[in-house]
A and B are shown apart, each in its own frame.
Chain A
């Protein structure tokens, strides 16, 4: 969807909410709005799209009490604010909007958490991502490096960028609104999303991207929305395999899960943010054993997290059962950089080629 199309969709959806309230009040009714219940008990796996979404449970908010009425009033102020942003083609961060609400008297937010939550509500009702409201988080997405060309509509005009040739050694920084990016062409065979900056730098330094025609994406830990959106768009636009390379501990498996299946907090956006085809590359518990990697002992919390993952539907398959049980038996975890113990080129010359051919990627 182009930026213009998205702007139009947002405007239409937001005005629809306000119009509904207007009509309700005109008919002498108390204005109300219906929202999906946003708890983990209302999250369902959608077989068709292979992502986690909100279920059917809805709650009705009517302005019949001061609390609910205030909530609707705040929502109305946000809608008015976003409408103005769309008209003036401006954007702001979530934090900026929170500060702007200071002037809204009775409708002002008590905390940024509250305004963030309300934006998520609006995303769910309007089926428009917050980028469509010209609202973005303060921090940028992570970086990307590899044989691909994009066009980004920037404040200074349209720019065409090749993510290997036109960027510095840190790569191209994913903007907070991926919708402004047009995917032009590429010369890649697959994408590797990396948890740590150290491994991202190692692969670039060793020329892994050129040797194997790989696009490298730095996740920066638990990936931001725009990073997940970027992976989703690369995967859907170019139909490239996406591989996730993390540390070998329970928390890293959750990073993989949020890339592949989506997070509860953004379940309403899963189709846009999750990449169901993403595969887990490593670091696998069996790698710790097979490559005899330097490792740390699992803490009590690690074991707890691993056990929780055994009952998590997102990990309910033979591969994960085997790997997680193996890890619990070994009682060990390792970091991506542990491969350096076998030499600085070990990961690019030995481990990745072996693992990627085992996965049928190369």
Chain B
């Protein structure tokens, strides 16, 4: 008993701030390198969400400067709607304070702890208060706050507050100083690049030390702000139902229709019947047992999926493609937005994209870009359901090699948008394995795999045709010459083979002994009315026949002949020069012509 008394003296409530002070990893502050990314991520999330709500095109400025030994000053400034002065201390100086926590819609930040956690981390490591400047409109003055958090009580500690002369009409600027390193600079830029891909309407200007980067917007359209919806009867937990009931003044039937998404009078009545309750009883007075029965009945009645069009905000196939194109040079990009779906009463939507070739690294695992509600997931790739789904797809079926993950010059983007993204942990790095979500991801990837396969086979076919042309036009004549020499017979004519194999209009360019010869042979079976474009450093002054016109751009001469080549006939031009450059035939469909440079 004495011991219990002793212990009782030590027992007291713990403030949220105190709790997180001891559990920084839960907020993504487990290492100084991660701290920078987490802080910028939280500030940028807030900025983008705010701009969306105010329907402005986000223009976000980010700066990181070293101010002392291991101390970095991070500034994030947006052109959003600003925060009213009365709210500023709470948004930045109180953990678990936010406007979006109670709403059911797709938002970037969900729990309202991110940016205040950075303030807490700053005061723990550098002791410098966080500076917030905010202005809500042209008629309002800007306010400047210096804020910290009272750790024992989790209340804001306003060190100073004053009016401020700010050239911005509206927006928010946060300046935080804490202990960190810039060893994760590459990762940070990667985070910003990925963020700009899935937020193609936003512009990011970045200053790191003395370097600056801009991730430009590719869309001028303000994205629609998702609207909050009522909870869905299938997704609600008992505790939440109990709280809603306690706060309600309505009768049961109205409570169900008004308070929940997609519940009509008919299904509400069905729920009442199943629970053995009258629709006319006051909800407030229901006992726990009654509420339990009601909760069970709600799960048992078929209700349409929650309306996703208003609470979710997918990026869209076109904008994903444009976003990717902007940041990666690839030969092929395809994107899919899947129809919305539901897990545990939460709406979600999967979007995916696949890119191939171009400047992607030709070897090694595919580059994977994971997103949740337009926020890049930068850590714990291996633990994420998205990675699992990518590995589970049989990529070999789409002619892509695979060692778990697909291998080669491939980029895969997956975006999961939901009113409640199921993360594996508080630090929101990886999406949990929810069968409904996994199914949608796999379907999207398979769909894209088919697109990629088509692209690859088309490309291979073109390559094969090109290869064939080269064989027929360059190697077979050489083979004919050698074979004729061996058997000591007259040179065998190989143009019938060309005709047989090609059935096309063939243009050949070759250079021998200082003479350039261009031949156009028509195996197509009908008149070829064409223009021959020959672009090189040769001016072709002595060309026979003469070009129809010649243009000269800084020593690059474009020679054009307009000719009609009858079937089975050869048109030929010769001039003295060094060859090289490019030959093109226009006026005929791509699949009916073939251009071969015999000098290559």
- Of B470, B471, B480, B496, most A-chain CB atoms within 10 Å: B471
How many Å lie between the Cα of A76 and that of B468 in the bound state?
Answer: 19
Q: In the complex, identify which listed stretch (A13-21, A172-180, A326-334) lies at the interface while the others stay far away.
A: A13-21
Among B468, B480, B492, B501, the residue within 8 A (CB) of A66 is: B468
Among A22, A28, A64, A107, the residue within 8 A (CB) of B484 is: A22
Q: Let me know if B487 and A73 touch, CB within 8 A.
A: no
Q: Let me know if B471 and A65 touch, CB within 8 A.
A: yes
Q: Let me know if A63 and B479 touch, CB within 8 A.
A: yes
Residues of B within 8 A of A22 (CB): 483-484, 487, 489, 492
Binary flags per residue of B479-503, CB closer than 8 Å to A gives 1, else 0: 1101111110100111011001100
Q: Let me know if A79 and B475 touch, CB within 8 A.
A: no
Within the complex, the shortest CB–CB distance from B504 to chain A, in Å, comes to 15
**B383 in the interface (beta carbon within 8 A):** no
Q: Which residue on chain B has the smallest CB distance to residue A31? A: B479
Q: Which residue on chain A has the smallest CB distance to residue B480? A: A25
How many Å lie between the Cα of A15 and that of B484 in the bound state?
Answer: 11
Residues of A within 8 A of B464 (CB): 65
Within the complex, the shortest CB–CB distance from B307 to chain A, in Å, comes to 56
Among B479, B480, B482, B487, the residue within 8 A (CB) of A19 is: B487
Q: Let me know if B489 and A80 touch, CB within 8 A.
A: no
Q: Let me know if A80 and B497 touch, CB within 8 A.
A: no
Within the complex, the shortest CB–CB distance from B316 to chain A, in Å, comes to 42
On chain A, which size bracket covers the interface? 20 to 34
Q: Let me know if A29 and B486 touch, CB within 8 A.
A: no
Q: Let me know if A77 and B475 touch, CB within 8 A.
A: no
Within the complex, the shortest CB–CB distance from A254 to chain B, in Å, comes to 34
Q: Let me know if B486 and A65 touch, CB within 8 A.
A: no
**B476 in the interface (beta carbon within 8 A):** yes
How many Å lie between the Cα of A73 and that of B497 in the bound state?
Answer: 16
- Supposing A22-B492, A63-B479 touch, asked if A83 and B501 sit within 8 A by C-beta, the answer is no
Residues of A within 8 A of B500 (CB): 28-30
**B221 in the interface (beta carbon within 8 A):** no
Q: Which residue on chain B has the smallest CB distance to residue A77? A: B482
**A69 in the interface (beta carbon within 8 A):** yes
**B258 in the interface (beta carbon within 8 A):** no
Within the complex, the shortest CB–CB distance from A2 to chain B, in Å, comes to 25
Residues of B within 8 A of A31 (CB): 476, 479, 483
Q: Let me know if A66 and B470 touch, CB within 8 A.
A: yes
**A67 in the interface (beta carbon within 8 A):** yes
Residues of A within 8 A of B552 (CB): none
**B478 in the interface (beta carbon within 8 A):** yes
**B30 in the interface (beta carbon within 8 A):** no
**A26 in the interface (beta carbon within 8 A):** yes
- Supposing A30-B497, A63-B476, A73-B479 touch, asked if A68 and B471 sit within 8 A by C-beta, the answer is yes
- Supposing A65-B464, A69-B471 touch, asked if A15 and B487 sit within 8 A by C-beta, the answer is yes
Q: Let me know if B471 and A76 touch, CB within 8 A.
A: no
Residues of B within 8 A of A301 (CB): none
Chain A residues within CB distance 8 Å of chain B: 15, 18-19, 21-22, 25-26, 28-31, 63-70, 72-73, 76-77, 79-80, 83, 106-107
Q: Let me know if A63 and B487 touch, CB within 8 A.
A: no
Q: Which residue on chain B has the smallest CB distance to residue A19? A: B487
Q: Let me know if A80 and B482 touch, CB within 8 A.
A: yes
Chain B residue total in the interface (Cβ 8 A): 26
6 more A-B residue pairs beyond the given contacts A65-B467, A76-B479, A80-B482, with a C-beta to C-beta distance below 8 A = A22-B483, A63-B475, A63-B479, A73-B478, A73-B479, A106-B474
Q: Let me know if A80 and B486 touch, CB within 8 A.
A: yes
Binary flags per residue of B18-45, CB closer than 8 Å to A gives 1, else 0: 0000000000000000000000000000
Residues of A within 8 A of B468 (CB): 64-66
DSSP class of A's interface residues: helix, strand, loop or mixed? helix
Residues of B within 8 A of A66 (CB): 467-468, 470-471, 474-475
How many Å lie between the Cα of A126 and that of B250 in the bound state?
Answer: 99
Residues of A within 8 A of B483 (CB): 18, 21-22, 25, 31, 76
Find residues 508-528 in chain B having any chain A CB closer than 8 Å to their own CB: none
Residues of B within 8 A of A83 (CB): 486
Q: Let me know if A30 and B501 touch, CB within 8 A.
A: yes
Q: Let me know if B479 and A72 touch, CB within 8 A.
A: yes
Q: Which residue on chain A has the smallest CB distance to residue B469? A: A66
How many Å lie between the Cα of A341 and that of B492 in the bound state?
Answer: 72
How many Å lie between the Cα of A140 and that of B284 in the bound state?
Answer: 104
Q: Let me know if B486 and A106 touch, CB within 8 A.
A: no
Q: Let me know if B496 and A73 touch, CB within 8 A.
A: no
How many Å lie between the Cα of A79 and that of B487 in the bound state?
Answer: 10
- Supposing A25-B497, A28-B497 touch, asked if A69 and B479 sit within 8 A by C-beta, the answer is yes
Q: Let me know if B496 and A15 touch, CB within 8 A.
A: no
Residues of A within 8 A of B494 (CB): 25
Within the complex, the shortest CB–CB distance from A103 to chain B, in Å, comes to 13
How many Å lie between the Cα of A26 and that of B493 in the bound state?
Answer: 7
Among B467, B472, B486, B493, the residue within 8 A (CB) of A79 is: B486
Among B467, B472, B487, the residue within 8 A (CB) of A67 is: B467
How many Å lie between the Cα of A219 and that of B93 in the bound state?
Answer: 88
Within the complex, the shortest CB–CB distance from A68 to chain B, in Å, comes to 7
How many Å lie between the Cα of A31 and that of B471 in the bound state?
Answer: 11
Q: Let me know if A69 and B497 touch, CB within 8 A.
A: no
In the complex, 16 of the A-B residue pairs with CB atoms within 8 angstroms, ordered by the A residue number, are A15-B486, A22-B484, A22-B487, A22-B489, A22-B492, A25-B476, A28-B500, A31-B476, A63-B476, A63-B479, A65-B464, A66-B468, A70-B475, A72-B479, A73-B479, A83-B486
Q: Let me know if B492 and A26 touch, CB within 8 A.
A: yes
Within the complex, the shortest CB–CB distance from B415 to chain A, in Å, comes to 42
Residues of A within 8 A of B489 (CB): 22
Residues of B within 8 A of A77 (CB): 482
Q: Let me know if B486 and A64 touch, CB within 8 A.
A: no
Find residues 201-239 in chain B having any chain A CB closer than 8 Å to their own CB: none
Residues of A within 8 A of B482 (CB): 73, 76-77, 80, 107
How many Å lie between the Cα of A30 and that of B468 in the bound state?
Answer: 11
How many Å lie between the Cα of A22 and that of B480 in the bound state?
Answer: 7
Residues of A within 8 A of B497 (CB): 25, 28-30
- Of A25, A63, A77, most B-chain CB atoms within 10 Å: A25
How many Å lie between the Cα of A145 and that of B434 in the bound state?
Answer: 80
How many Å lie between the Cα of A25 and that of B489 in the bound state?
Answer: 13
Residues of A within 8 A of B471 (CB): 63-66, 68-70
Within the complex, the shortest CB–CB distance from B474 to chain A, in Å, comes to 8
How many Å lie between the Cα of A79 and that of B501 in the bound state?
Answer: 26
Residues of B within 8 A of A29 (CB): 497, 500
- Of B464, B470, B489, B492, most A-chain CB atoms within 10 Å: B492
Residues of B within 8 A of A67 (CB): 467
Q: Closest 4 CB pairs between A and B?
A: A28-B496, A69-B471, A69-B475, A18-B486
- Of B474, B478, B480, B487, most A-chain CB atoms within 10 Å: B487
Binary flags per residue of B301-344, CB closer than 8 Å to A gives 1, else 0: 00000000000000000000000000000000000000000000
Among A28, A79, A106, the residue within 8 A (CB) of B478 is: A106
Residues of A within 8 A of B487 (CB): 15, 18-19, 22
How many Å lie between the Cα of A67 and that of B484 in the bound state?
Answer: 21
Within the complex, the shortest CB–CB distance from B121 to chain A, in Å, comes to 56
- Supposing A22-B492, A66-B470, A69-B471 touch, asked if A30 and B476 sit within 8 A by C-beta, the answer is yes
Residues of A within 8 A of B478 (CB): 73, 106-107
How many Å lie between the Cα of A331 and that of B282 in the bound state?
Answer: 89
Q: Let me know if A64 and B501 touch, CB within 8 A.
A: yes
How many Å lie between the Cα of A15 and that of B489 in the bound state?
Answer: 12
Within the complex, the shortest CB–CB distance from B476 to chain A, in Å, comes to 6
Q: Which residue on chain A has the smallest CB distance to residue B489? A: A22
How many Å lie between the Cα of A25 and that of B495 in the bound state?
Answer: 10
How many Å lie between the Cα of A64 and that of B487 in the bound state?
Answer: 22
Residues of B within 8 A of A64 (CB): 468, 471-472, 501
Residues of B within 8 A of A72 (CB): 479
How many Å lie between the Cα of A97 and that of B476 in the bound state?
Answer: 23
Residues of A within 8 A of B493 (CB): 26
Binary flags per residue of B453-468, CB closer than 8 Å to A gives 1, else 0: 0000000000010011
Residues of B within 8 A of A68 (CB): 471
Find residues 165-179 in chain B having any chain A CB closer than 8 Å to their own CB: none
